[in-house]
Structure 1
Amino acid sequence: YNQVENGCQVIWYRSDGRREKFLENTDFLKAFCADFESNMKFQQSQMENFIINFEYFKFAHKKFLEIESKLMPQLQSILSGRNPLKTKNCSMVVFKMSSILAVLPYLDPKTIKRITMTDSKQGPVPDIGKWRIDELMELPHWKNAEQVDIIDVFVEDVPVEKFLAFKRVYIYVEVVNMEQVLEWKEAFLHSPTLDSILIKFSSSDAVSRFISTYGDPVSDIDMFGSQRKCWFFKVPSVQVSLYDAQFRIQRLEEFPENVRVVSEFWEHKFPVSLAAVGFEECL
């Protein structure tokens, strides 16, 4: 849907090639919303993906922000007027948390498996913004989904207990200290569902504190070509990896050979198994 002189140009593709139509004296957002409403009226089966993507372009930032501000209330009105839309995955690249809250409540919480949210302003913009997710965490969608990804934006005031029902978690936070890493580890151990946690951060004191507390690490290159430093601990089948700009907690099958295992690090009441802690400098 392109706004052109004296109207709107609509372009679509079918198996037999490109199609085009000109709508005289019509606003492109109005044309899109009319078609969206018509299509959604008959959408009863579960979709694989529901995607809204305001991709960032520096030269068009203000224009895209204006479009989002106009479009999201219209989408909210359309979706609120029908039965909850069934979709397995919801992915939104938007400028504001309010845009997510305008749409997500009207998707069926019983079918949602993955929620992905990305801040549109990222990419060439150097400063990562901040979102509060208090309202989001109270939605049934948050409680029913198996995976959540909040990308390119710092999440403020992250209560660890609100993430325990997920299978996989991927978020950004501004600062992570060693105590917070341990808090996430404890939550992971006691959660019946968590399988993987990846948290990116801007700064952390964990690397230096691990070195001073547990000695020199094992250094190697991971499968993605990034240099990492690892510590290994006896815990219940969990691997904790602390990177230069992120940390990851996930299930572990076995240790590499010939590594030193630190046994006194964790306090637990489970059968002793294996885990690793690694710091990585991402190239």
Structure 2
Amino acid sequence: MLLSGKSENILNAILKYSDIQTIFALRKVCRTIRNHIDDVKPASDVKIISIHLDSNLFKNQIWLISSSKVLHITYEKLQNGCRISWNQSERFIEDEDFSTLYFNDLKIIMDCRKPMLTDFQVTTHIVPAELITFLKSRTTPIQSEKFSMTTTNQSQVMKVFPCFDADYLKEIGIFDIRQNQVNELWKIDAMIELEQWKNAEKFETFRFFVDEPIHHFLHFMKANFHVKSISTQDLFILKENYILFPNTFKFFYVGYQNFLNEEALSSEMGTPYLSTDPTKCNQKRWFFKFPENDHLILIILLVPNQVFVTCIGLEDVPNEACIQNRKDLQGLV
């Protein structure tokens, strides 16, 4: 059955002002309306899409987040069919595979979204074949400002990460899904070769260490991650890099297990500022002038197992601290 011209115009007018929850509800009214919606692909206001995949529990979930609403939908295997739950409602579909229905709906969601997402999140231990098929079937890469993935290792990330548009991606967040007491060491050697990595401006990790040279992270204007080892030379490289970006640099945090060449700190970085506050006796701080900004100061703070690099106002520098010019430090090395 086809919609009449008048009915089609009315439905299109409704869809124009409908959020994703309303669009999904309308798709369930009848096959004719569902087919029309799938053909028209009305734009929704979804900003964040978060997918959680668990083949062991035969259960997939999706969160659709707009500026005003959160829609949570669960698809799970039940007897010979699939139970779909959302908000306070649920529906059982007989003789249908939960994963097939899930990815069919995900395709509709992606087709109905506006061009740019704020964040696309993936949570899974192992990336299922259905997600790989879904991503490969797309004619265009996913346009999102941020890619977030919670999983087990680089090989899983690499099944998804390359499918994002490098021209739009600005933030990367990678998190270990395992609740280990001791953080694992992840390889990220394949990730750092991608344009998506090289074009991004922000990077964060949680629950694992990486072991790549510090120069692979210098293009990030905001970063938060952990490494096995860091050195005095790495601190010097960080200073030399971020002193050039007073207007765009935000924050760089790196946790570490081992600090190398600590005896060379004064010769490479200058004499650190040591606070007289007994609660800060293990802190070393260096302050540097930006070449083209008289109001901001680059600060490097070294404490056991942590390095912080950020900007502060000139007025926030302790009176007793020495503010170094870049050329002053170059004379030391």
TM-score w.r.t. length of structure 2: 0.63
Pick closer, same or farther for the CA change 1:241–1:39 going to 2, 3 Å. Answer: same
In the other structure, the counterpart of 2:67 is none
In the other structure, the counterpart of 2:228 is 174
> Which region of structure 1 is more displaced relative to structure 2, 106-115 or 206-215?
206-215
* Partner secondary structure for residue 173 of structure 1: strand
TM-fit CA distance, 1:209 = 7.1
Q: Distance in 2 between matches of 1:40 and 1:227?
A: 53
Query: Which of 75, 79, 86 lines up with 2:143 in the alignment?
Result: 86
Query: Which of 9, 19, 39 lines up with 2:89 in the alignment?
Result: 19
In the other structure, the counterpart of 1:110 is 167
In the other structure, the counterpart of 2:274 is 217
Pick closer, same or farther for the CA change 1:42–1:139 going to 2, 3 Å. Answer: same
Q: Distance in 1 between matches of 2:281 and 2:90?
A: 51
Pairs within 5 Å for 1:82-161: 82=138, 83-121=140-178, 123=179, 125-160=180-215
* Partner secondary structure for residue 258 of structure 1: coil
Q: Distance in 2 between matches of 1:233 and 1:191?
A: 15
TM-fit CA distance, 1:96 = 1.9
Pick closer, same or farther for the CA change 1:227–1:88 going to 2, 3 Å. Answer: farther
Query: Which of 283, 297, 308 lines up with 1:248 in the alignment?
Result: 308
Unmatched tracts of structure 2, length 5 or more: 1-74, 291-296
Pick closer, same or farther for the CA change 1:97–1:215 going to 2, 3 Å. Answer: closer
State the structure with bigger RCO (CA 8 A, min sep 6), 1 or 2: 1
Alignment: residue pair count: 245
TM-fit CA distance, 1:148 = 1.1
Asked if the contact 1:211–1:217 (Cα under 8 Å) also holds between the matched residues in 2, the reply is no
* Partner secondary structure for residue 238 of structure 2: helix
Asked if the contact 2:187–2:211 (Cα under 8 Å) also holds between the matched residues in 1, the reply is yes
* Partner secondary structure for residue 133 of structure 1: coil
Q: Does 1:267 align with 2:267?
A: no
In the other structure, the counterpart of 1:272 is none
* Partner secondary structure for residue 219 of structure 2: coil
Asked if the contact 2:275–2:281 (Cα under 8 Å) also holds between the matched residues in 1, the reply is no
In the other structure, the counterpart of 1:275 is none
- Identity, in percent, stands at 21
In the other structure, the counterpart of 1:57 is none
In the other structure, the counterpart of 1:58 is none
TM-fit CA distance, 1:172 = 1.0
RMSD over aligned CA atoms reads: 3.2
Larger Rg: 2
TM-fit CA distance, 1:105 = 1.3
| 1:196-216 alpha-carbon deviations (Å, 9 max, x no partner) | 211011233677876999478
Q: Which amino acid aligns with 2:76?
A: N
Pick closer, same or farther for the CA change 1:205–1:19 going to 2, 3 Å. Answer: same
Pick closer, same or farther for the CA change 1:227–1:28 going to 2, 3 Å. Answer: farther
* Partner secondary structure for residue 260 of structure 1: coil
Q: Which amino acid aligns with 1:53?
A: T
> Which region of structure 1 is more displaced relative to structure 2, 256-265 or 112-121?
256-265
Q: Which amino acid aligns with 1:113?
A: K
Unmatched tracts of structure 1, length 5 or more: 55-64, 270-283
* Partner secondary structure for residue 52 of structure 1: strand
Asked if the contact 2:273–2:321 (Cα under 8 Å) also holds between the matched residues in 1, the reply is no
Q: Distance in 1 between matches of 2:273 and 2:318?
A: 17
In the other structure, the counterpart of 1:36 is 106
